[in-house]
Structure 1
Amino acid sequence: MTVANLTPEAKTRSRGRPRAFDMDAALDAALRVFSERGYHAASISELTEAMGLASGSIYKAFKDKRGIFLTAFAHYRKLGRRRLEAMIASAKTGREKVFQMVMYYAELSYGEAGRKGCLVVGGANDFGLLDEEAAAHVVTAFTADEKLMADLIRIGQEDGTIPKTVDPDAAALAFLCFTKGLRVIGKTGRSREEMLSAAEAGMKLVT
């Protein structure tokens, strides 16, 4: 059918609606750009090319680069949380659950994944003092990890696999610093063996 043969309704629909796209695939592509380049260095042109979208579709769906980042950030956290919770659920004791949470970050801190880095840690650097709303999303992510770790430590204390002398809140904060530090060091090209050894050493926090 040619443009001339389209009905007025069809012409309006064709011109007014952006081409449908796979949102998850587009956000995955945006995550790669932000993780590798950082928020400030990532350009709209890089994002549109990676996401396979025209600039018009980008602006209609997200408004601007900040909108892309915030949407991608929420997507990143949702996927990561799902994988983390699956690993924790596979462990039987509280101590094993703590170790699985530490291992989750250790496994992301070497090779290609390690060099890409962590969007949450990167977001803390990019938005800490510049964007209160975006910074609040980063704080929420950190707080959620800290609370989850404290809860797992308490489970371990209840089942006897973690000593009662361990302060759950202090240890959880220490683990937060440790696991986010793994993601930073992972950008320097450390090996899997090094990161797994670090994970084992980190468990001394609950000994």
Structure 2
Amino acid sequence: MTTDTIDIAPRLRGRPREFDMNAALDEALRVFSERGYHAASISELTEAMSLTAGSVYKAFGDKRGVFLAAFDRYRRVRQRLIDEVLAKAPNAHEKLRILVTFFAEASCGEIGRRGCLVVGSATELALFDEEVANRVGVAFDFDERRILELIRLGQTDGSVATHVDPESTACALLALTKGMRVIGKTGRKTEHMLAAAEAAMKLLN
């Protein structure tokens, strides 16, 4: 993974001090996912990111700036992980199974309790912050379009039934996968979420 660095303060001899941007944002992600935007304090963020408040303000402007940078980082990392996993599947139906299972497994236990930053942002901030709402909308549109394209590909390669309506089924699977992340905050068991994923796959039969 490429490491991003950013200057935060001059050294005594005039050379800039740097920190690992990705590592800092990953820690901010954890705080925002666990606490939510409003409950996360600057002191919690600076402690998790191993930065001073002054360094955070200089690099990101304010707490909202940290959040937006963390949101973008979260989406980049998640999409790369999903792309890598989907590349291993032999056909579109298996890609869809892997995708739905990915969200099911991310909704279990401690990881599930931590939650999804995109889904959390949709429920906590999207009504009050237009920029966040736009980011959430882009993320949801991307995920739905990916599912839609896989359904259509599956109907072409014969792995998805031709009577399945691509648009409505893509919307249903989007709702199911995002809903998994919501109920995952309650600490659902792995077997329950995997069973839900299997039930969701029946929409493609």
- SS where residue 198 of structure 1 aligns? helix
Q: Using structure 2 for the length normalisation, give the TM-score.
A: 0.92
Structure 2 CA distance for partners of 1:10 and 1:70, relative to 1, 3 Å = closer
The separation in 1 between residues aligned to 2:34 and 2:189, in whole angstroms, is: 19
- What residue number does 2:27 align with? 29
- SS where residue 19 of structure 2 aligns? coil
**AA in 1 matched with 2:51:** L
Q: How far apart are residue 109 of structure 1 and its match? A: 0.5
- What residue number does 1:206 align with? 204
Q: Deviating runs (4+, > 4 A) in structure 1?
A: 9-12
The separation in 1 between residues aligned to 2:12 and 2:81, in whole angstroms, is: 44
User: Which of the residues 61, 64, 67 maps onto 1:66?
Assistant: 64
- Alignment length (residue pairs): 196
**What per-residue deviation string (whole Å, max 9, x for no partner) do you get for residues 152-171 of structure 1?**
01111001111111111111
**What per-residue deviation string (whole Å, max 9, x for no partner) do you get for residues 6-33 of structure 1?**
xxx975726xx4x311111100100010
User: Which of the residues 149, 152, 160 maps onto 1:154?
Assistant: 152
Structure 2 CA distance for partners of 1:143 and 1:10, relative to 1, 3 Å = closer
Mapping for residues 16-165 of structure 1, pairs under 5 Å? 17=16, 19-165=17-163
- SS where residue 145 of structure 2 aligns? helix
The separation in 1 between residues aligned to 2:11 and 2:51, in whole angstroms, is: 22
Q: How far apart are residue 127 of structure 1 and its match? A: 1.7
- What residue number does 1:6 align with? none
Name stretches of at least 5 consecutive residues in structure 2 with no aligned partner: 1-9
Q: Using structure 1 for the length normalisation, give the TM-score.
A: 0.91
Give the structure with the higher percent helix: 1
How large is the Cα RMSD of the aligned pairs? Answer: 1.4
User: Could you say which structure has the larger radius of gyration?
Assistant: 1
- SS where residue 14 of structure 2 aligns? helix
**AA in 2 matched with 1:23:** M
The separation in 2 between residues aligned to 1:205 and 1:13, in whole angstroms, is: 62
**AA in 2 matched with 1:180:** K
Name stretches of at least 5 consecutive residues in structure 1 with no aligned partner: 1-8
The separation in 1 between residues aligned to 2:192 and 2:103, in whole angstroms, is: 13
Q: How far apart are residue 90 of structure 1 and its match? A: 0.9
The separation in 2 between residues aligned to 1:10 and 1:50, in whole angstroms, is: 23
**What per-residue deviation string (whole Å, max 9, x for no partner) do you get for residues 140-196 of structure 1?**
000000000000011110011111111111111100100001001111111111111
The separation in 1 between residues aligned to 2:179 and 2:145, in whole angstroms, is: 18
